[in-house]
Every structure is written in structure tokens, then in C-alpha cells.
Amino acid sequence: MGKAAVVILLKVLMILISTAWLSLWLLKPTNLWTRKWKAAESSARNTVFGYYGLDFTVYTFPVIAVAMIGLVYLNLQSWGQRNSRQIRSSTAAFSNPLVTSNLVGILSGVEILSVFLFILFLAWTFYTRISHDFTKLTPMESLKLDLWQLKFLRVATRFGLLAEACLAFLLLPILRELAVFRILGIQFEASVRYHIWLGTAMICFATFHGASTLFIWGVSHYIQDEITKWQRTGRIYLAGEITLVVGLVMWITSLPQIRRKRFEIFYYIHHLYIIFLVFFLLHAGDRHFYMIFAGVFLFCLDKLLRILQSWPQTHILSARLYPCKVVELILPKDTGLKYTPTSIIFMKIPSISRFQWHSFSITSSSTIDHHTMSVLVKCDGRWTTSLYDNIRAQLDSDADKMKSIPVAIEGPYGPSSLTFLRYDNLLLVAGGIGITPFLSILHEIAATQGNGSSRYRLPSRIQLIYVVKKSQYIGLLKSVSSLLQNHPSNKCHLKLKVFVTQEKQCGATLGEMLNEASQVQWVHFGLKGPIYSIHGPQSLYWTAALAGIASITFLVFLICFNHIFVPSGKNTSGHHSSKLAVSSKMKAPKENSPSWVADILIISSFIISLACPSLVAIVLRWRRLKKEEVPLVSSKEEKVQQLSSIETKGVVEEEHEVHFGGRPNLEDEFSKFLNETNGSDIGVLVSGPETMKEAVASLCQQKSGCFHIGNKEKKPYLSFHALTFTL
């Protein structure tokens, strides 16, 4: 009860902090907030805290606090979700697919509501600010602009603030260790699309903002004077144009047509975000930068922790070459590293590229494999083909000349709880290499059945629909052939339906296809010296502590630097009349110094704040590596023996189906499975092409009975989950 009470308390605390932070964005455009905030800043200037500390605490720290509390919450929450079943509720319908479209993908009710509220927030912000501007619009004596030009310039300025609002949320979806979205049950690979939506909206608003401003300066013949002016308010128009150009280049190279076919271009160009953020600070000034600083702060800290996590490099123990040009890589892992099924890792192979990282779904279970983890790689791109050719060259060389392949691993990252075990039944739909996350699920179920553990309640029935182009892909199921036997002692019943779309009926049985080991080739690499195992991320508690250390360090150094380098504004004559006091409030000391001074102080404090937790993380990493006693070369043979023992077992052919020459009729397959399960709650997981995901989502929307709450007859509830591991 004590731990459950703490979980509830942390959840309430996160809701309160998030509500307060979002309320700031709603109140900021109003005159009430302007008056109250100016008074608060004036009061803070006379304290050690300063207005700069107030801005950081109010605008930036709430998001950091939610991330820290969320990590503790996730660690505690994972303990309380082991024996519970998935509970059907009237609100569960909002998390299921509501819209399926080729343009926007699969959207749930929660996502549609969130997008609508965000658009409403942008409309409210724009309307409130522009209506206030138009009521107080006065001609500028220094610039002889017409009334329509002044109005258009104001509209352009307010569109820049809309871009700023999008930028404030832009980096939050792509956090990995400090993942804020994971608190909502959304994994990194699924939240990337929110980053894409926000980035597209930001670029649209920023383009209108920049182009319209240049248009006004152009028609009024002030463009040469204004574009290079360094204003005391912090706005530098040239820096803004550089920010816009860099943002446009990043957005264009991230379009699917370029990202999927020329991933290297997308990956390298996207690192221009450093230039983008620095010039945004120079253009918008420190006050506006604090509004978006939370995402920047967490992202950079997250990036540093991930860099340290991937050091030092490990090596591939062995590889398995399938005839369908798929490679299984066996990697060493620390015995204490535990991860949930459907987790992903990010891999970098310096011999192929020193900078590129690629994501892969883990196919093994940490419950079974204590010393190793495995991933399947489909070799159809430039990077993956280079990997395949490298391993193939090692296979063709002499055994004594085989060289180990060093790799850097980041992760694993995955769900905080075993959600798929909480359903009465499971329906798995996979296409091609999309089988990989389901292999980890099946391995976890096999491990739970094998050790007789009662800590998890397994689904009573599982059906796997596997769609492939060639029958060679069936060999990828070899490692789970023990589950396909369906022994009476098994707690869950697994039925496999394979659909081979581009081949005609062949005489081979499913068992023969699975046991056709002569076409699978093993490569055991020569390993010399110690091999560092994969330890994974720091514990959630330590990660939360590092975020706290970084934020406190930033605030302390920011306050110190401002008191040292920014004029204090004290009256040297010693007279403290009320007139001078009012004057000092109207013109603060900070405004007596150039705007670039505050920008430099923010950057300096930021660099120091990242260095301090990095040093702590290095010490923690060194201590974990020091505990590693002996090289894990022997684990390679252990993994081979496990796979060999699995492969020799037979398969009960009558339980499973193999169809050739066409795609499955998913509607018929869903109807049959619903009849077999008698209306119980079903978890539907799909991994594969986007068209397959959309088709499955549409069927879940049609056949799920979660909208028929008032109906006395029990309707099936199909809970949809799309698994993604390719970004």
C-alpha cells in the first residue's frame, strides 16, 4: 500500500506541475499576465535570485521536474502491473484507432483531441496578441510605414511566436533516457511522428514570419538598415534569417522521399540543430529562449548521457546469415541488464560509418539469455548491405583470420511494463522483418512457461499471422519452434498462420522449412582481449538525479555570472529618491548592457551545467565497467547451444497453416479469431508496412465493441498497438 500511495502521489504531482506550466502559456498573451509578470520581475531584480533565475524557474524548470518525477514514477509503477489484467473501460475507446488515412496515418481519439487542443491554443494565442496589438497600433516615427504595413508586420511577428510555441514542444518527443512521453505510455519510436508534426508546423509559421518581415522591409526600402541592426531588445534579424534557412534545409532533407532513400543526408544535415538553436537565441533574445529552453536542456543532457552509455564499444560475438538476406547478430550483455520485450537498441558500427546510428528491435529475452542479446537486421539499404558484405567476407576467409567487428550500442529502450501479458488473448500480425518484436514476446512467454513462474498471467490463446514474400522468411521463426509444439503443459495456446504472397504451393512442410538449417550459416568472430558487455542506460533514479544536478548547476552559475558580468545599476551618488527608484524600475540594469552579453552567459552556464552531470555519469559508468570480471567469450557457445537445442525439436503440423500465392483476408481472420475467443478482450499487435498497420487499425475500429457500452451482450474489445522500430 505504501508504494501504491507514492505512485498516486507522484502522478498527482506531475499533473499539477504540468497544468501550472501549460497555464503559463495560456495566460502569457493576456494583459493580466503582463502586469503581474513585470511586477514579479521587478521584485526579483533586488534579490540574489534575479529576474533571470525567475524566468528559468517558472518557464523551464517545471518540465525538468516532470521528467525527474516521471522517471521515479515509472520505476515504481513497473512493480505494480505484473498480475493485473487489462481492464475494459468506457474511456478505453479513446486510445483505439479512430482515423486511418494515408496522409496522417493512424490516429486515436486521444491524439485527435490533443491536436485539436493544441491548434485551439495556437489560435487563442494569436488572436489575443494580435487584437491587443491592433488596438494600440501607432505609427513608428523612425519608420515611415503605412497602416497596412504596420498591421502586416504585427501579424508576421505574432506568427513568429506561434513558431516559438511549436519549438517549445519540438524536442520533447525524441528524448530517450529522459523520455517525458514514456510517462504517457508512448515509446520513443512512436512519438517521433509528433516531432515531425511539430517541426512541420514550426517551419510553416517561421517561413511566414521571416518572409513577411522581409517583404515589409523590402517594400518600405528599409531592408538594408533593419536586416543587420543589432537591437537592444535582443532581436537580430540577420540571425533570424539564418535560423530560418537552416530550419528549412533540415525540414526538406527530413521529408520521407529523402529520409528513406538517402538516410545519410538526412542524418548529417539534422545535426545543424546546434546552429539553429544558437542563432534562435541571438534572434529572439534570452526571455523568449527561456520559453523553449526546457526541451533544449533535456535533449542535450539526454544526448550526452546516451553518448556516455555507448562507451566503450563492444564486439559482435557471432552472426547468423539467413538465405533471405537477414543477419542475426549476437551481442554480449551484462547479466544484470533486464529489458522488456519489444525493446529496441541503437547500433553504430564505426567500420561502416563513424556517425550513423540505426535502430533495431531485440528478438531475445533477458529472462532466458543472461549473457547475450540478439537482433535481426534486414540487409536492403546501403548501411545494412555493407554490414552483410562485411560478415560475408569474414565467412569466406580462414577461421584463423576472422576479425571481430566493434560496435557501439545505445539502449535498450522499451515499455516500462509487460502490457501484452495483461490481455486475455493476443492477435499478432507481422509482415516481413516486422516479426522481430514478436519474437521477443514469444521468447518471454516461453520463458515464463518454462520456469513455472506465476508472477505473470499469460494470455490463454495467441494467434500469429505472418505475411512474407518468400518462404525463406519462415526460417526466422526457428528460435520459437518450441512454442509451436503446444504441449499440454503450456499455459497458452499458439496458432501460426503463414501467408507466402509471391510463391506457389511447395511440397515442404512447415517443420521442414523451420529445420532447413543447411541454408543458415554461422560466423564466429575471432575475439582477442576483454569484451565489454552492454550495460544499458543508468537506473531511472540516477538519471533523475543527474537531471536535478544539471538544472541546479545551471541556475547557480547563471546567477553568479549575471552578478559578475551584468551591471548592478546601483546609484553611485548615494541618493535614493523615489524618482530614481521609479526610473531604475523602468530601465533595469540588464537593459544597460548589450543583448549578446545575456546570450553568452546563458550558453556558458548551459555548457557548465552539462559538464557536471557528465562527470558524475562517467564515474558511474567506470564503476559499472570495473565490476565486470572476465570476458564474455564463453557466452557465445552458450547461445549457440541454446539455438541448436531449439532447432532440433519437431513441430505439430496440424496446429498451424501455411498458405501460398496471396495475401490474407484479414477481415475473415479477425472474425474467426473473435469466434474462437468468445468475445473476450484481445490485444492486437501489428508490425510491418504502413498499409498493413492501417488495415489492421481499421478492422479493430470496426469490430471492437468498446463503443457499445450500454449493450448487455458482451462485445469483444480489440486493443490496437502498432509496433515500430525503423525510424
340-376 pLDDT, tens per residue? 888 899 999 998 988 888 889 999 888 888 888 999 9
* CA neighbor of 377 nearest in space, from 365, 391, 390, 360: 360
Q: How confident is the model at residue 36 (pLDDT cuts 50, 70, 90)?
A: confident
Q: How confident is the model at residue 329 (pLDDT cuts 50, 70, 90)?
A: very high
Q: How confident is the model at residue 634 (pLDDT cuts 50, 70, 90)?
A: very low
664 located within any domain? yes
Cell of 434: 516486422
Answer yes or no: is pLDDT of 337 > 60: yes
CB atoms within 10 A of CB 28: 17
Same domain (yes/no): 478, 356: yes
* CA neighbor of 466 nearest in space, from 440, 443, 512, 435: 435
The percentage of the chain sitting over the pLDDT mark of 90, rounded to a whole number, equals: 26
**Which are the contacts of 378, defined by CB distance < 8 A and separation ≥ 6?**
325, 326, 384, 432, 433
Using the 3D structure, point to which of 171, 204, 229 is the last residue of a domain. Answer: 229
Answer yes or no: is pLDDT of 221 > 70: no
Same domain (yes/no): 348, 469: yes
Q: What is the pLDDT of residue 707?
A: 42
204 located within any domain? yes
Same domain (yes/no): 399, 527: yes
- Determine contact, residues 716/677, Cβ cutoff 8 Å: yes
CB atoms within 10 A of CB 237: 19
| Three-state SS at 318 | strand
pLDDT of 365-409, one tens digit each?
888 888 889 999 998 888 888 998 888 888 777 665 667 888 999
Q: What is the pLDDT of residue 464?
A: 92
329 located within any domain? yes
- The range of the structural domain enclosing residue 392 comes to 314-533+655-722
440 located within any domain? yes
Using the 3D structure, point to which of 187, 206, 229 is the last residue of a domain. Answer: 229
What average pLDDT score do residues 413-438 get? 84
585 located within any domain? no
The vertex-618 CA angle with 615 and 622, nearest 5°, equals 145
Cell of 164: 516559438
Helix residue spans in 310-427 (DSSP H): 382-396
Q: What is the pLDDT of residue 654?
A: 60
Answer yes or no: is pLDDT of 108 > 90: no
298 located within any domain? no
Lowest mean pLDDT among 89-93, 235-239, 459-463, 692-696: 89-93
Q: Which helix (H) or strand (E) holds 683?
A: strand 682-687
Q: What is the pLDDT of residue 584?
A: 42
Answer yes or no: is pLDDT of 583 > 60: no
Count of domains observed in the chain = 2
Torsion angles phi and psi, residue 506, rounded to 5: -120, 165
pLDDT of 660-671, one tens digit each?
888 888 888 888
Same domain (yes/no): 456, 347: yes
Q: How many residues in total does the chain contain? A: 727
Same domain (yes/no): 340, 440: yes
pLDDT of 138-164, one tens digit each?
666 556 677 788 888 889 989 999 999
Answer yes or no: is pLDDT of 91 > 70: no
What average pLDDT score do residues 79-88 get? 48
Region for 370 from its dihedrals, namely left if φ exceeds 0, alpha if ψ lies in -120 to 50, beta otherwise: alpha
- As a whole number of angstroms, the distance between CA 366 and CA 347 comes to 18
Using the 3D structure, point to which of 209, 229, 249 is the last residue of a domain. Answer: 229
16 located within any domain? no
Same domain (yes/no): 346, 464: yes
Helix residue spans in 534-633 (DSSP H): 540-565, 578-586, 595-626
594 located within any domain? no
Answer yes or no: is pLDDT of 643 > 60: no
- As a whole number of angstroms, the distance between CA 660 and CA 404 comes to 40
- As a whole number of angstroms, the distance between CA 493 and CA 248 comes to 52
- Please tell me whether the peptide bond between 312 and the residue prior to it is cis, using omega within 30 degrees of 0: yes
Same domain (yes/no): 360, 217: no
- As a whole number of angstroms, the distance between CA 253 and CA 214 comes to 24
Cell of 345: 537498441
Q: How confident is the model at residue 179 (pLDDT cuts 50, 70, 90)?
A: confident
Q: Residue 496 is part of a domain; what is its CATH number?
A: 3.40.50.80
Mean pLDDT of the chain: 80
Q: What is the pLDDT of residue 52?
A: 79
pLDDT of 589-632, one tens digit each?
555 556 678 888 899 999 999 999 999 988 888 887 776 544 44
